[in-house]
Chains A and B, each alone.
Chain A
Amino acid sequence: MLLREVEYAKPASVADALGVLAQNDGARALAGGQTLINVMKARAASPDVLVDLNGLDELKGIELAGDGTLTIGAMTTYTELMASAEAKARPILGEVVSTIADVQVRNRGTIGGNVCASDPTNHLPPLMAAIGARFTIAGANGEREVGADEFFLGVYMTAVGVGELLTKITIPAGKHDGFAAVTLGVDGTCIANAAASLDGSLRIALGCVDAVPVVLEPASADEAAVREAVRGAALDPPSDVHATAEYRTHLAEVLAVRAARQAQER
């Protein structure tokens, strides 16, 4: 057996899931499992209870409001997002998730699981920060909504506390978005990435260079202004076997320029 002993609960509703999560500090929500199950194999995490969110239709689905606002259920898989006609209202979403890992992972992995993992090398944290996503967190005392700046708190840490669940992500209308990454192999883990969104002003979010996305607002969308903003951020990224801190800092600037250019060209 690769996994430590664990209890398993399959709640019938979000309310039930919140109840189980609140009853036990060692309970963890199981979304697509494409990160959590592997982390459990390595015993880097050993929850006492897995609360399986698969099958909760309340957490599924993509809605497009009249004003172009997209609401995406936390348990929506990458594959469902790619296939969704509604999600095409913000094309960058489907484009980016289609570059996450492989078919099998995209079939089970969820948008909520991705952001709740808050892995600095994931694609979605910087993308969500750049496009102004808002996160709805449910708990015993009802729902609250936070922006990306409040949601991502650190490596593997988010605003979703014990006894809480991310239920949906709300994304405003927009289409002038860009994303660029240098990855380990095609569609692999990001060594560095950058997302950009232009809505009057330009917002850039850099991934892989800090515990949480680094959000920048360059003075303009010009390449020189983007470069200046990244240099001014005084990045201090980690070094690892794939890239030194110096190289990651270089990539952050290059990728920010590419993402900004893509956002402008749309």
Chain B
Amino acid sequence: MSDHPITVTVNGVEYERQVEARKLLIHFVRDDLDLTGSHIGCDTGNCGACSMIVNGTLVKSCMMLAVQADGATVETVEGLADGEELTPLQKSFSEHHALQCGYCTPGMLMSATALLRENPSPSEDEIKKALQGNLCRCTGYWNIFEAVKAVAR
């Protein structure tokens, strides 16, 4: 089985790597690039902890092959903050205590970031629908919704 050369820009940094076709994007980002902010919660496409923004589109990176990201621009949770300066959404998560164990947080942030880019003034129902693909097993959804609502214009 041959490796495939890919060039992927992740959080503004271009990486050239060889990948096996069977490698999932989440494993490429975590294991090959050592960007471990994106989590693996379920391996089955249900939990959304691995959510990333690929070419501007929110995806679950466990349901995409790394080789499919060749030429793509990928955004992960590590790319949100500007150095130590958190985004308003990240600050809001902190202020609203929108996490308990924190495992789902990277995915929640990416989904909420994608929502707010597309729709800066989401209704409560739109926020809930946008975060439908992200499970919080602490069941702490209430504060997550509050955090997103607080930065919605």
Contacts and interface: CB of A to CB of B under 8 A. Distances in A.
B97 interface: no
Contacts of B111: 103-104
A101 B51 CA distance: 14
Interface residues of A, number: 26
* Residue of B2, B21, B67 with most partner-chain A CB within 10 A: B21
Interface of B: 1-2, 4, 20-24, 27, 43-45, 48, 51, 57-60, 62-65, 67-68, 111, 114-115, 129-130, 132-134
B20 A5 contact: yes
* Residue of A33, A52, A79 with most partner-chain B CB within 10 A: A33
Contacts of A2: 22, 24, 27, 43
Given A3-B24, A5-B20, A52-B68, A104 B1 contact: no
Contacts of B63: 33-34, 37-38, 104-105, 108
Interface of A: 1-8, 33-34, 37-38, 41, 50, 52, 54, 79, 101-105, 107-108, 186-187
Given A8-B4, A38-B63, A104 B22 contact: no
7 contacts: A2-B22, A2-B24, A5-B22, A8-B67, A41-B43, A104-B60, A104-B111
A33 B65 CA distance: 9
A70 B43 CA distance: 37
A103 B114 contact: yes
A114 B134 CA distance: 22
4 closest A-B pairs by CB: A102-B133, A8-B21, A3-B22, A102-B132
A34 B48 CA distance: 13
Contacts of B115: 103
Given A102-B48, A104-B133, A105-B60, A8 B43 contact: no
B64 A37 contact: yes
